[in-house]
């Protein structure tokens, strides 16, 4: 750590950071910070805070520095767009209930936050449409014993309660899947998948497996499907307000970050690459969903991108998540879930996070990964 500080300071010195400031003061040409116009001041603070946050995170791993990112404003949904936003399941969204956060995207898709929708309207609408909702999860290797039972238990309590649900568990050991007593109208199917040599391959192989499953029984029996990581659990109602043709999840660690800092794949040789002017948000691969047709397209795109990368001998920085982010840049999600829908308690307390619906389990990579 001390080395990092020393390195940072010496870099500044070697690049003349101090000398330039002194020179400006002597010549009297520098504009004092209080005289800058408001927009420039905001930009300056954004730059300073993000630079410090970034340094803290990657060099010193000081969690406390991260909390500064809440000062980076999220932006607000334009007044002209608000009345245009009607949701298939929840009707009119109450943007005014959450003035402190961004409640729509630039392509007029809703970003749903606690308080902006009526869960009962969504439940009634889903029942009226007589929907079946699929929930897929992979539990390969040690992820099965460690996480699956808690994941399914919590889903029984909070996921699409009162709706028809079909769980699809993909595992290398179907016989080890715990026996579950399921609620009425809820089914569990288990599919065998091979164990891979590397955890990265397990993570990426999900796209092809899901694509095939969506083209088979899963696609026939479900209207909408959510695809989730297993190392998390539901803590509050996760209902039909989340349903739409193509659903993306804002990543809890990155939703305040400026676009240029987002961890997209930048290597142009990868099919997942986004250049610095590209990208809307950073989406989380631990949760995505949509209609069967939309997800067939998504999984085909990501699986093909991964295959092209492997033929070229490259691997995207965040594997399937990088390809997912590329897909959502090219094909915009029709609904975006706020980080309340998939939250990590390690981030700490945030005023804008009212009711987390799904919580990450603490990461115990040494225990579960090969």
Show which residues are catalytic: 321
Give the interface segment with ligand UD2, choosing from 24-32, 95-103, 303-311, 312-320 (CB under 6 A): 312-320
CB of 244 closer than 8 Å to CB of 122: no
Task: Say whether residue 140 binds ligand UD2 (CB under 6 A).
Answer: yes
Smallest distance, ligand UD2 to C-beta of residue 315, A? 10
Which residues, 339 to 368, sit near ligand UD2 by CB under 6 A?
360, 363
Q: Are 197 and 191 in contact (CB under 8 A)?
A: no
Q: Which of 113, 138, 257, 283 binds ligand UD2 (CB under 6 A)?
A: 138
- Selected from 123, 125, 229, 340, the binder of ligand UD2 by CB under 6 A is 229
Among 203, 209, 249, 270, binds ligand UD2 (CB under 6 A): 203
Q: Which stretch binds ligand UD2 (CB under 6 A): 75-83, 154-162, 304-312, 316-324?
A: 316-324
Q: State how far the Cα of 292 lies from the Cα of 285, in Å rounded to an integer.
A: 17
Three-state DSSP at 320 gives: helix
The tokens of 35 are what?
Answer: 């005289």
Q: Does 89 bind ligand UD2 (CB under 6 A)?
A: no
Closest CA to 140 of 193, 218, 198, 191: 193
Is beta strand 246-250 parallel, antiparallel or unpaired with respect to 283-291? antiparallel
For ligand UD2, the binding residue among 45, 54, 60, 199 (CB under 6 A) is 199
C-alpha distances out from residue 137 to 176, 181, 287, 297, Å: 15, 18, 10, 19
Q: Which stretch, 135-143, 154-162, 304-312, 329-337, contacts ligand UD2 (CB under 6 A)?
A: 135-143
Phi, psi angles (nearest 5°) of residue 249:
-110, 125
Question: Phi and psi (nearest 5°) for 93?
Answer: -90, 140
Q: Measured between alpha carbons, how far is 148 from 178 in angstroms, rounded to an integer?
A: 8
When the beta carbons of 93 and 274 are compared against ligand UD2, the nearer one is 274
In the complex, the residues that contact ligand UD2 under the rule CB under 6 A are: 138-141, 143, 199, 202-203, 229-231, 285-286, 318-321, 360, 363, 369
């Amino acid at each position: 750590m001390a080395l990092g500080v020393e390195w940072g300071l010496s870099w500044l010195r070697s690049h003349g950071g101090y000398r330039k400031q002194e020179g400006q003061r002597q010549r009297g040409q520098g504009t004092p910070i209080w005289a800058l116009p408001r927009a420039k001041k905001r930009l300056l603070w954004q730059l300073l805070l993000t630079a410090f946050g970034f340094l803290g995170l990657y060099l010193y791993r000081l969690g406390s520095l991260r909390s500064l990112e809440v000062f980076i404003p999220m932006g607000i949904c334009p007044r002209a767009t608000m009345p245009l936003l009607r949701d298939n399941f929840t009707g009119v969204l109450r943007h005014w209930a959450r003035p402190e956060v961004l409640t729509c995207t630039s392509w007029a898709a809703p970003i749903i936050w606690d308080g902006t929708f009526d869960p009962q309207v969504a439940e009634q609408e889903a029942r009226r449409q007589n929907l079946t909702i699929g929930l897929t999860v992979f539990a390969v290797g040690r992820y099965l014993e460690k996480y699956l039972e808690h994941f399914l238990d919590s889903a029984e309590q909070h996921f699409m309660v009162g709706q028809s649900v079909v769980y699809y568990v993909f595992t290398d050991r179907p016989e080890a899947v715990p026996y579950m007593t399921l609620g009425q109208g809820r089914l569990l199917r288990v599919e065998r998948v091979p164990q891979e040599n590397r955890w990265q391959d397990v993570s990426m192989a999900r796209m092809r497996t899901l694509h095939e499953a969506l083209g088979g029984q899963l696609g026939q029996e479900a209207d909408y499907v959510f695809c989730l990581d297993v190392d998390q659990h539901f803590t509050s109602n996760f209902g039909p307000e989340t349903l739409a043709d193509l659903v993306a999840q804002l990543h809890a660690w990155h939703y305040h970050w400026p676009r240029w800092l987002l961890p997209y794949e930048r290597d142009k040789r990868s099919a997942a690459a986004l250049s610095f002017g590209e990208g809307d948000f950073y989406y989380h691969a631990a949760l995505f969903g949509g209609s069967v047709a939309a997800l067939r397209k998504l999984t085909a795109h990501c699986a093909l991108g991964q295959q092209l990368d492997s033929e070229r001998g490259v691997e995207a920085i965040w594997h399937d998540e990088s390809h997912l982010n590329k897909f959502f840049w090219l094909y915009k999600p029709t609904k975006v879930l706020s980080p309340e829908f998939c939250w990590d308690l390690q981030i700490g307390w945030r005023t804008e996070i009212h009711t987390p619906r799904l919580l990450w389990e603490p990461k115990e990579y040494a225990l579960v990964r090969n």
